[in-house]
């Protein structure tokens, strides 16, 4: 990952800690463009970012796209093609909107939480995301949690 990307992600995280959400979106609009800023807003408002905590203490972050699920390593990596092609390979943008969404979602507490994920569930989720770019296991766990919450 380029120094430009590392620097941008650090700056974005710092900016988000010091400003309200709307101001941070304006910052993203000025630095990444209106399209990416609107996608970040959509991702955060629709709670598309998921933080999974496993029984063995690992924390995994995902972005639930409309058709695909992306693995996020905060401040470092997103499994989407935009990150791989335009951030890593071509170096034409500083980050993808999934990674920016994760930073904002974490900072403002606007993400879904799944805890006590078993090792088998963790392995299934990671394998599904890698192989199919979607995870029925992750979706099932989220639906199950929502059903329990609504009882």
Going by C-alpha positions, the residue among 31, 3, 54, 2 that lies closest to residue 100 is 31
Residues 6-14: what's their mean pLDDT?
97
Band (pLDDT 50/70/90 cuts) for residue 147 is confident
Contact 37, 25 (CB under 8 A): yes
Residue from 130, 65, 139, 137 nearest 99 by CA: 65
pLDDT band at 2 (very low <50, low <70, confident <90, very high): confident
pLDDT digit string (tens) for 83-124? 999 999 999 999 999 999 999 999 999 999 999 999 999 999
| pLDDT of 33 above 60 | yes
Q: How confident is the model at residue 1 (pLDDT cuts 50, 70, 90)?
A: confident
Q: Is the pLDDT of residue 151 over 60?
A: no
Structural domain count of the chain:
1
Q: What is the largest CA-CA distance in the chain?
A: 49
Inter-CA distances, 88 with 4, 12, 126, 139, Å: 11, 18, 21, 29
Q: Range of 116's domain?
A: 3-149
Share above pLDDT 90 across residues of the chain, in percent, rounded to a whole number:
93
pLDDT, tens digit, 9 for 90 and up, residues 42-90: 999 999 999 999 999 999 999 999 999 999 999 999 999 999 999 999 9
Can you read off the two tokens belonging to residue 130? 């890698």
């Amino acid at each position: 990952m380029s120094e430009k990307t590392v620097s941008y992600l650090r700056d974005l995280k710092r900016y988000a800690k010091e400003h309200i959400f709307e101001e941070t979106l304006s910052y993203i609009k000025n630095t990444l463009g209106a399209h990416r800023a609107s996608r970040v807003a959509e991702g955060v408002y629709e709670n598309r970012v998921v933080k999974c905590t496993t029984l063995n203490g690992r924390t995994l972050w995902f972005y639930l796209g409309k058709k695909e699920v992306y693995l996020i390593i905060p401040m470092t990596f997103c499994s989407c093609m935009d990150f791989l092609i335009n951030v890593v390979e071509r170096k034409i943008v500083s980050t993808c909107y999934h990674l920016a969404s994760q930073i904002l979602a974490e900072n403002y507490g606007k993400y879904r939480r799944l805890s006590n994920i078993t090792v088998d569930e963790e392995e299934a989720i990671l394998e599904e995301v890698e192989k199919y770019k979607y995870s029925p296991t992750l979706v099932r766990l989220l639906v199950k949690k929502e059903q329990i919450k609504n009882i």
